[in-house]
């Protein structure tokens, strides 16, 4: 009886399964296949072209001894944490402001979302000019009379990464705002009425009732922002090209430069494998909590 | 009948254009004013040949960025028809993988071995006895460019060597000038250091460190002295917040900076600004200490194509690049030296004549790109750009890391 049922189970929704095969195959071959290929070659001394002369962990040893890589990782950590926190806070704050049924909401929403329509390269170049001490913000403030005013983050090794962060937040927070706004609009008006009847202040309603209800929206925003953080490259290239010195290098840039400029594939693959490991370290516990936990609850 | 006629006509048309009519896409990273004017000479000469068309594929951002684009396009199966690269080891693996067109037949036909001077340039294009690239110019790094205006404003004489340059720096600073203009890109930092090594440490030390990768020489006391000098030069360059080399050169042209260590391609910028060597600016080969130049330069490689028509046009372009007229026109605009010893450069200015004299006297070194792999070059560039921009790194620290890189160089 059970034996007779099993093939049925496989053939159920056959059309849907057949239709999914190309996508599954692409994901397996392109994503998993290429990842394995990259990891395998990170143990070789491939130069410009992939070869299979295995050298063990040499590439990784060199990687973790290279100052440029260490600075890249540090920058990514600062940039990642700050942009995650700030994007979500600013995005949510702007969304609550827009949610107060103000006039010209559409206009304001469009203006705030507009930077997202620009590519990172354009964003980077624009902010490079704005932050340039010779003709940007510093120049304008000084010409207004504050002669000693200094604001040149892109030319200061210690804070250059924050200069890049400003541009990233400017570009990205509009999108987060729109997502949050959609989430806020999804909250049932009855809940607001109930809160008002109970005399709960507005800010308390947001923090203790609305935010917990918006969990899926926050997760969406989180995934979008994190994906952007790990692959940040074009913004840095356009804004500082890693400078001054190597103070604003990021891992993706290290990979690209090792691969094509320095013609050292092995080193590039070792670096990209480390990037993958970093992502997994964050992703695996999260996925475990998110999905593993649910199964147990059932 | 009609159909056949049409067919014959079409075939005839194809055959007619097959003589050698092709649009060749040529990639290069010559984007500054002087460079663009020079590469336009190539395009003009090639467009004048029958039916051929030069499609310009300039890539902005300097050699470091452009090489990445070029290599990834060739490896990715979308090769351009011709491309600039530096001589030497940059294209080594691409040639070995059979991705470049073999030019041996036209090289023999044109007697390149006899006309290219110094012949080491052609050797850099040769792999296993076969020629794969066309050298088009000789560029040397070892020049110090000095602004007469800046020194006049500061009220001191234009220096005639590096020591005088360093001792005149306080006067320039007092006059509100930056003594040493320096672009922030890594290749510039590394190049300027190489120049100081040749000039202050001497060519023997350079050869030991770069060509022979002698770890002891790289860790020696002579080398430490060069690092001390570089740390001093770093102080002089504080305040030049520019990125591209030509913007740094512009500071020298405008008299905002005293000098710049840069290769002879800087001369193209002075030419575009209509400045005269000896009157508006001075050039000191080998920083005025050791008059030696390296003979690196640019070469054109021709990635392999399936189309025989395109291949014919590629070979035609290769021949054209080495012809006397094109060599003279191009190099005068570019400020570089021609690769042929037999062309007349009467129109050359003072600086180019100095270069030609040194070239003729044989005081030459290979270029860093000819002896170091791209990997080692990249490591040195990373170290140098960090050292040059971060004053918290002492000369000793940088020296130690430098010696490690040379010791593990391949």
Render pLDDT for B177-195 as a digit per residue (tens, 0 to 9): 999 999 888 889 999 999 9
User: Is B68 close to A264, i.e. CB distance below 8 A?
Assistant: no
Whether A145 and A284 share a structural domain: yes
Residues A285 and A163 in one domain: yes
Give the distance from residue A257's alpha carbon to the nearest chain B alpha carbon, in angstroms. 8
What is the model's pLDDT at position B15? 41
> Smallest Cα–Cα separation from B241: which of A130, A155, A238?
A155
Number of domains in chain A: 2
- A148 and A221 inside one domain: yes
Q: A250 lies in a domain?
A: yes
Collect all residues of chain A within an 8 Å Cβ-Cβ radius of residue B378: 257-258, 261-262, 264
DSSP alpha helices (H): ranges in B18-133? 33-48, 62-75, 92-96, 104-109, 112-115, 120-125
Averaged pLDDT of chain A: 88
pLDDT mean over A58-67: 92
- How far from the centroid of its chain's Cα atoms is residue B83's Cα? 14
- Per cent of chain A over pLDDT 70 is 95
> How sure is the predictor about A233, in pLDDT bands with cuts at 50, 70 and 90?
very high
Between CA A33 and CA B361 the distance in angstroms is: 58
Q: Residue A6's pLDDT is what?
A: 59
Do A227 and A269 lie in a common domain?
yes
Residue A160, in any domain of the structure: yes
Place of tokens 């709960």: A200
A231 and A98 in a single domain? The answer is: yes
> Which helix (H) or strand (E) covers residue A290, if one does?
none
Q: How confident is the model at residue A293 (pLDDT cuts 50, 70, 90)?
A: low
Closest by CA position to B141, among listed B331, B369, B247, B294: B294
Closest C-alpha to B145, from B294, B291, B265, B293: B265
Question: Scanning every residue of chain A, which has its alpha carbon at the shortest distance from the alpha carbon of B379?
Answer: A262
- Average pLDDT rounded to a whole number, residues B356-364: 87
With cut-offs at 50, 70 and 90, classify the pLDDT of residue A295.
low
Cα–Cα distance, A137 to B201 (Å, whole number) = 44
Residue B100 has pLDDT above 70, yes or no: yes
> For residue A286, what are its two tokens?
């999260």
- Given this model, what pLDDT does residue B346 score? 76
Q: Do A189 and A277 lie in a common domain?
A: yes
Chain A residues with CB-CB distance to B389 below 8 A = 157, 243-247
User: Does one domain contain both A34 and A68?
Assistant: no
Task: Please determine, for residue A100, whether its predicted confidence score (pLDDT) is greater than 90.
Answer: no
Beta-bridge partners for B257: B178
Instruction: Report the chain B residue with the minimal C-alpha distance to residue A256.
Output: B68
- Kindly state whether residues A152 and A292 are assigned to the same domain: yes
Residues whose CB is less than 8 angstroms from the CB of residue B74 and which lie 6 or more positions away in sequence, other chains included: B80, B83, B94, B99, B303
Q: Do A133 and B241 touch (CB under 8 A)?
A: yes
Record: contact B378-A261, CB cut-off 8 A: yes
User: What domains lie within chain B, and their CATH numbers?
Assistant: 21-139+297-355 (3.40.190.10), 143-294+372-407 (3.40.190.10)
Rounded Cα distance, A248 and B194, in Å: 25
**Angstrom distance (rounded) from CA B225 to CA B202:** 12
Q: Which domain holds residue A15?
A: 1-41
Best B389, B392, B401 member to test A by mutation, with max A CBs in 10 Å, is B389
Residues of B in contact with A252 (CB under 8 A): none
Cβ atoms of B298 and B88 within 8 Å: the answer is: no
CA distance readout (Å), B273 to A66, B58, B61, B93, B143: 42, 22, 22, 40, 19
Pick the more confident residue, A241 or B145. B145
In a domain, A128, yes or no: yes
Under 8 Å between Cβ of B29 and B265: no
Residue A289 domain-assigned (yes or no): yes
Residue B161 burial by Cβ neighbours in a 10 Å radius (0-12, 13-18, 19+): middle
Of A134, A243, A262, the CB nearest to B374: A262
- Mean pLDDT across A142-167: 89
Name every residue in A having a CB less than 8 A away from some CB of B: 47-49, 66-68, 133-134, 155, 157, 241-247, 256-264, 267
Predicted confidence (pLDDT) at residue B4 exceeds the cutoff of 60: no
Which chain B residues touch A263 with a CB distance below 8 Å? 71, 90, 93, 373-375
- pLDDT value at residue A72: 94
Of B67, B97, B184, the CB nearest to A261: B67
| Residues A31 and A136 grouped into a single domain | no
Burial class (CB in 10 A: 0-12, 13-18, 19+), B82: buried
CA B248 to CA B37: how far, in whole Å?
Answer: 19
How far lies A38's CA from each of A56, A159, A258, B42, in Å? Answer: 14, 34, 14, 41
Burial status of residue B47 (CB atoms within 10 A of its CB: 0-12, 13-18, 19 or more): exposed
Cα–Cα distance for residue pair B24/A140, rounded to 1 Å: 47
Q: Burial letters for B364-391: b for 16+ Cβ neighbours within 10 Å, e otherwise?
A: bbbbbbbbbbbbbbbbbbbbbbbbbbee
Q: What is the mean pLDDT of residues B313-324?
A: 91
pLDDT at position B8 over 60: no
Same domain? A3 vs A76: no
Peptide bond into A263 cis (omega under 30): no
At residue A285, the pLDDT reads 81
Inter-residue contact A115 to A170 (CB < 8 Å): yes
A46 falls within a domain: no
Residue A25 lies inside a defined structural domain of this protein:
yes
ipTM of the complex: 0.79
pLDDT at A292: 67
Token pair belonging to A142: 């000084």
B375 and A264: CB-CB below 8 Å? yes
Residues of A in contact with B68 (CB under 8 A): 256-257, 259-261
Q: State how far residue A89 is from chain B, nearest Cα, in angstroms.
A: 34
Query: Which of B64, B75, B387 is the closest to A261 by Cβ?
Result: B64
Burial grade of A24 (CB within 10 A; 0-12, 13-18, 19 or more): exposed
DSSP secondary structure letters along B297-352:
-EEEE-B--S-HHHHHHHHHHHHHHHSHHHHHHHHHHHTPBPSBTTS--TT--HHH
pLDDT of residue B132: 93
Backbone angles phi, psi at B55, to 5 degrees: -100, 115
Does residue B11 register a pLDDT over 70? no
pLDDT tens string B271-311: 889 998 888 999 999 898 888 888 888 999 999 998 888 99
Judged against a pLDDT cut of 90, whether residue B94 lies above it is answered with no
- Which pLDDT does position B13 carry in this prediction? 43
Q: How far apart are CA B174 and CA B111, in angstroms?
A: 57
Which chain A residues touch B385 with a CB distance below 8 Å?
Answer: 243, 245-246
Q: How would residue A298 be classed by pLDDT, with cut points 50, 70 and 90?
A: very low
CATH number for the domain that contains residue A137: 1.10.3720.10
Clarify whether residues A37 and A87 are in a common domain.
no
Task: Give the minimum alpha-carbon distance from A261 to chain B in angstroms, rounded to a whole number.
Answer: 5
On average, the pLDDT of chain B sits at 87
pLDDT at B253 over 60: yes
Asked if residue A263 and residue A120 are part of one domain, the reply reads yes
| Helices A58-65/A265-287 angle, 10° precision | 80
pLDDT digits (tens, 9 = 90+) for B29-87: 998 888 899 999 999 999 998 888 999 999 987 777 888 889 889 988 899 999 999 87
Averaged over B203-220, what is the pLDDT? 91
**Would you say the C-alpha torsion B23, B28, B33, B36 has a positive or negative sign?**
negative
Q: B346 or A73: whose pLDDT is higher?
A: A73
**What number is the average pLDDT over the span B359-380?**
86
On whether residue A100 sits in a domain, the answer given is yes
A226 CB-contact burial (10 Å; exposed 0-12 / middle 13-18 / buried 19+): middle
Residue A4 has pLDDT above 80, yes or no: no
Q: Who's near A292: CB < 8 A, 6+ residues apart?
A: none
Q: Is residue A70 one of the residues assigned to a domain?
A: yes
B281, burial (CB in 10 Å: exposed 0-12, middle 13-18, buried 19+)? buried
Higher pLDDT, B375 or A291: B375
Question: Is B375 in Cβ contact with A245 (below 8 Å)?
Answer: no
Give the pLDDT confidence score for residue B14 in this predicted structure. 43
End-to-end C-alpha distance for chain B, whole angstroms: 68
């Amino acid at each position: 009886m059970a034996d007779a049922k099993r093939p049925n189970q496989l053939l159920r929704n056959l059309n849907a399964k057949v239709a999914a095969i190309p996508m599954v195959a692409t994901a397996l071959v392109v994503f998993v296949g290429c990842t394995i290929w990259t990891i395998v070659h990170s143990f070789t001394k491939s130069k410009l072209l992939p070869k299979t002369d295995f050298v063990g962990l040499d590439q990784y040893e060199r990687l973790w001894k290279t100052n440029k890589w260490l600075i890249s990782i540090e920058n990514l950590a600062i940039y990642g944490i700050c942009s995650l926190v700030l994007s979500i806070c600013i995005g949510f704050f702007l969304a609550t402001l827009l949610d107060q049924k103000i006039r010209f909401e559409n206009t304001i929403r469009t203006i705030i979302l507009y930077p997202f329509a620009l590519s990172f390269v354009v964003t980077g170049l624009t902010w490079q000019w704005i932050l340039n001490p010779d003709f940007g913000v510093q120049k304008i403030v000084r010409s207004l009379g504050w002669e000693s005013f200094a604001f040149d983050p892109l030319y200061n090794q210690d804070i250059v990464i924050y200069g890049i962060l400003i541009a990233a937040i400017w570009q990205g927070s509009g999108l987060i705002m729109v997502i949050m706004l959609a989430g806020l609009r999804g909250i049932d008006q009855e809940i607001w009425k109930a809160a008002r009847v109970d005399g709960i202040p507005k800010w308390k309603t947001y923090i203790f009732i609305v935010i917990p209800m918006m969990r899926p929206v926050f997760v969406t925003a989180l995934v979008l922002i994190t994906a952007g953080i790990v692959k940040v490259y074009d913004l840095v290239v356009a804004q500082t090209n890693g400078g001054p010195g190597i103070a604003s290098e990021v891992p993706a840039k290290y990979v690209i430069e090792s691969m094509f400029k320095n013609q050292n594939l092995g080193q590039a693959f070792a670096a990209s494998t480390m990037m993958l490991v970093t992502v997994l370290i964050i992703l695996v516990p999260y996925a475990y909590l998110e999905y593993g936990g649910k199964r147990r609850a059932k | 009948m009609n159909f056949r006629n049409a067919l014959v006509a079409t075939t005839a048309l194809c055959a007619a254009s097959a003589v050698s009519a092709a649009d060749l896409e040529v990639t290069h990273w010559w984007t500054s004013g002087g460079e663009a004017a020079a590469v336009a000479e190539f395009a003009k000469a090639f467009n004048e040949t029958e039916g051929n068309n030069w499609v310009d594929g300039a890539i902005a951002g300097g050699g470091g960025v452009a090489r990445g684009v070029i290599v990834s396009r060739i490896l990715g199966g979308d090769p351009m028809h011709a491309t600039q690269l530096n001589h030497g080891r940059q294209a080594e693996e691409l040639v070995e993988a059979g991705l470049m067109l073999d030019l041996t037949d036209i090289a023999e036909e044109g007697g390149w071995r006899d006309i290219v001077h110094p012949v080491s340039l052609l050797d850099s294009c040769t792999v296993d006895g076969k020629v794969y690239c066309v050298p088009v110019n000789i560029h040397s790094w070892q020049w110090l460019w000095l602004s007469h205006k800046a020194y006049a404003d500061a009220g001191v004489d234009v220096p005639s060597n590096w020591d005088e340059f360093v001792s005149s720096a306080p006067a320039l600073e007092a006059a509100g000038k930056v003594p040493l203009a320096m672009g922030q890109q890594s290749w510039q930092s590394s190049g300027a250091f190489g120049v100081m090594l040749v000039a202050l440490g001497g060519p023997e030390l350079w050869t030991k460190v770069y060509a022979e990768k002698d770890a002891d020489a790289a860790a020696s006391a002579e080398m430490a002295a060069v690092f001390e000098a570089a740390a001093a030069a770093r102080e002089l360059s504080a305040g030049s917040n520019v990125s591209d080399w030509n913007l740094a050169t512009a500071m020298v042209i405008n008299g905002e900076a005293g000098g710049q260590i840069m290769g002879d391609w800087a001369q193209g910028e002075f030419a575009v600004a209509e400045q005269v060597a000896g009157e508006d600016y001075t050039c000191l080969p080998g920083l005025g200490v050791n008059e030696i130049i390296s003979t690196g330069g640019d070469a054109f490689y021709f990635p392999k194509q399936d189309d025989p028509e395109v291949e014919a046009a590629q070979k035609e372009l290769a021949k054209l690049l080495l012809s006397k007229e094109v060599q003279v026109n191009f190099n005068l605009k570019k400020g570089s030296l021609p690769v042929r010893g037999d062309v007349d450069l009467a129109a050359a200015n003072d600086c180019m004549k100095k270069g030609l004299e040194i070239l003729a006297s044989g005081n030459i070194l290979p270029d860093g790109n000819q002896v170091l792999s791209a990997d080692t070059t990249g490591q040195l560039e990373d170290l140098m750009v960090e050292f040059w921009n971060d004053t918290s790194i002492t000369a000793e620290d940088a020296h130690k890391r430098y010696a490690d890189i040379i010791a593990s160089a391949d």
